[in-house]
Amino acid sequence: MCLAFPGKIISIDENNQAVIDVEGTRRETSLDLMDEAVTIGEYIVCHAGFAIHKVDEELALEQIAMLRQLLEDEI
């Protein structure tokens, strides 16, 4: 139930409501719970109609790289 998913911000209106793109579908998302500023083009984690976290693209990629390295180091 508290599943959340990443989406890319398409637009933000004056009520702090964003439209995000999740795998090609558009959803309305409130930014009222965000603890850092976000802008169009950035990714957020969305839960039940609210953005709850900015997805740090770099961190995500870094984690993947780390996993791949584990793979190379034969763990």
Partner 1 sequence: MKYSDEYRDPALVERLYAGVRDVAAGIDAPVTIMEICGTHTHAIGRFGIKSRLPDTVRLISGPGCPVCVTAVEDIDRSILMARLPGVILTTFGDMVRVPGTDGDTLERARAQGADVRVVASVMDAVKIAAAEPQREIVFLGVGFETTAPTVAATLRRCRERNVRNFSVFSVHKVIPPAIQVLLDDPLLSVDGFLCPGHVSTILGVDAYEPIPRRGKAAVITGFEPADILQGVMMILTQIATGKVDVEIQYGRAVNREGNPVARKMMSEVFRPMDARWRGLGKLPGSGLALADEYATFDVFNRFDIPTVESKEVAGCLCGGVLTGRKSPADCPLFRTRCTPAHPVGPCMVSREGTCAAYYRYY
Q: Give contact residues for ligand SF4 (rule: CB under 6 A).
A: 1-3
| Nearest CA-CA partner of 50 in 3, 40, 14 | 3
User: Scanning the structure block, which residue is given the tokens 């964003």?
Assistant: 18
- 9 or 44: CB nearest ligand SF4: 44
> What stretches of 13-74 adopt beta strand conformation (E)?
17-22, 25-30, 43-47, 50-54
Q: Which among ligand SF4, partner 1, none contacts residue 37 (Cβ within 5 to 8 A by kind)?
A: none
Select from 14, 35, 39, 41 the one that contacts partner 1 (CB under 8 A): 35
Determine contact, residues 27/19, Cβ cutoff 8 Å.
Answer: yes
- Residue 37 interacts with partner 1 (CB under 8 A)? no
Residue 37 Cβ, how far from ligand SF4 at the closest point, in Å?
27
